[in-house]
Structure 1
Amino acid sequence: MQLTIKQVFNNNTAIVDLDTDQQAIVRGKGIAFNKSKGAAIDSAKIEKIFYLDTINSQKNLYFLLKDIPIDVVTTTYEIVDYAKKHFNYLVQDYIYITLSDHIYGAYKRYMEGDYTPSHIPDMSDNYIEEYLIASAGLNIINQNLKIDLPSSEIRNLALHFINAHTSEDTSTLDVSKKIDFTKLIKKILIQNNIFRTKSNSNYYDRFMVHLQYLEQRLNNMSADTKFDRKFELEMERDYPGSTSIAKQVSAEIKNARGVELNNKELLYFIIHIQRITQEAGLNDAR
């Protein structure tokens, strides 16, 4: 297979054009050293390859590369690739955006000494596959990024896979046709005295990224289970203010789109809102 460089990121990572008119990210020690666009790559040096086999996957990659280092992006692709290959685990394409964003945020906080372990309750008994994927994902993150995130981070990573899971291949969905919910949700946050500040900007921006791909998730909303409802009640007990705001958001989305958020999505909203309010010094908004 002839591999031609389309873009060099660093000595060890590049995008290549394949004979099949596809593109892929390739990674290997020194694989792109002293090379430029149009040069051939020695396939024997490839240690990892991540295929960009849809237009959406290529768009997602270039969107990510605007703000997130290539080492974090390839780490995300490696984790998702592990889920697909080892568990045949189908996810919606937006996970590349949200998971990369989360990993980069955790990495920055770790390097700045501001990282705090996850307080998300353990759901491993009910989501065994997701926790196995997340456990492997944590090892990949720590190895690739040369950091040492604690085992509690597995809960954060698992939640991304729980939230993005789908029973069908959605890689051909055109996310450019999504409905933009960000203005609607910002209005609700402002009504509850929640604003983007310097201290909460990281969590606030991550929530906005999450919302950009809400339409894709609404099209694949799974039914609630008894466990999901139980978990929602626990969150409502621990974070009543954030739960109230999340339910306001859910009601507005139902009015705008005609679809009610399931408990998993509502949980994700509660967690986002709680983090934003904590960083803003509001604790649990009541």
Structure 2
Amino acid sequence: MPVPGERQGVRVVAHKVLNNNVVISVDEQGRERVLMGRGLGFQLKASDAIDPAKVEKTFVIDQSGDPEHTRRVLADVPYPVIEAVSAAVDGAERQLERDLGRRLLIAVIDHIQYVLERLDAGIRIPTTNMPELRVLHPQEFAAAATMATVISSRLDRALPDEEAVFLTMHLLNATRDEPNGTAAQLFRRVQHVVATVERGLGVTLDVENPDYARFVLHVQFLLQRLVSQSMLRSNDSSFFEFARVKYPESYRIAEDVKSYVAAATGSALSDEELLYLIVHVERLAAQIGRDTSGSDVLS
């Protein structure tokens, strides 16, 4: 069988042997290509021909990133971890129906190895829930949860519950057509707004309530409108004035959000945006059996 990704009939030789399972060759375009397979590099030396029957996976090293880091990860991480993560990433690509790129593979291998080393050292890993991720990025979160299950099963190791969260962030970095870190920055800002509202209401919101999901999605779109400079605006301020007077506590909380957003983005919310925030906060207040005008909410 030909080496995956190589033209049939071309003799492939080793350029660098990273370990018994990972070898680097150089293709006809002069690109470094990683070839992986159990026992592939055993007793192999530079310039030796590579047995194509032993090659299980191959990819080109991204020279625009940090190729030395890629080589180091593949040389140092135990091959069962590389195999498990490779299978998980392949599954995520099928689930999301897109190519996630080789940077994701290396990033997740590096991350999982770090997690395993912490677990082996008995270091307690705090639980990270981040329910907003399930609402904002359900497809990526589902794929990440499956990835965590695949890795855990193949390594026969229990991974911390929050691995689905961390793997979701890795997937977002790989799938968003935005500058690096933009998705994570947006998510952190959504989290901060949610925390501001929870602090103002004095409660932890019920993440299973549909109003919570609507609120989180609204905040995401609000922040995206700020970036694109397409905030909601209206010439009629009567509804805003009514909400401000009718729901003073929700208005105060919305103003706290407005202050945070201004500090984080340098943009001030319009009264129309503030109005919709007040409405959403009032709905959330109804979850806890009251409204912010001072009267009880009927259940």
Partner of 2:66: 60
Q: Percent identity?
A: 21
Partner of 1:204: none
Partner of 1:234: 194
Question: Greater relative contact order (Cα 8 A, min sep 6): structure 1 or 2?
Answer: 1
**What is the CA–CA distance in structure 2 between the aligned matches of 1:73 and 1:51, rounded to whole Å?**
13
Contact in 2 for aligned 1:4/1:38 (Cα 8 Å): yes
1:116-155 correspondence to structure 2 within 5 Å:
116=125, 118-122=127-131, 123-142=133-152, 147-155=157-165
Unaligned runs of 5+ residues in structure 2 are 1-7, 201-259, 268-299
Provide the alpha-carbon RMSD of the alignment: 4.3
**What is the CA–CA distance in structure 2 between the aligned matches of 1:65 and 1:238, rounded to whole Å?**
45
**What is the CA–CA distance in structure 2 between the aligned matches of 1:50 and 1:233, rounded to whole Å?**
43
Q: Of residues 97, 109, 112 in structure 2, which corresponds to 1:103?
A: 112
**What is the CA–CA distance in structure 2 between the aligned matches of 1:104 and 1:41, rounded to whole Å?**
28
Partner of 2:58: 50
Partner of 2:282: none
TM-score (norm 1): 0.52
Residue 11 of structure 1 pairs with residue 17 of structure 2 = no
For the structure 1 residues 235 and 74, does the alpha-carbon distance in structure 2 shift closer, same or farther, using more than 3 Å as the test?
farther
Measured against aligned partners, the alpha-carbon deviations of 1:157-203 in whole angstroms (never above 9, x if no partner) come to 112222443238xxxxxxxxxxxxxxxxxxxxxxxxxxxxxxxxxxx
Partner of 2:277: none
For the structure 1 residues 62 and 140, does the alpha-carbon distance in structure 2 shift closer, same or farther, using more than 3 Å as the test?
farther
What SS does the aligned partner of 1:25 have? strand
Contact in 2 for aligned 1:16/1:23 (Cα 8 Å): yes
Unaligned runs of 5+ residues in structure 1 are 169-215, 241-246, 259-286
Residue identity opposite 2:68 in structure 1: Y
How many residue pairs are counted as aligned between the two chains? Answer: 195
TM-score (norm 2): 0.50
Contact in 2 for aligned 1:60/1:97 (Cα 8 Å): no
Residue identity opposite 2:180 in structure 1: R
**What is the CA–CA distance in structure 2 between the aligned matches of 1:85 and 1:61, rounded to whole Å?**
26
**What is the CA–CA distance in structure 2 between the aligned matches of 1:107 and 1:4, rounded to whole Å?**
34
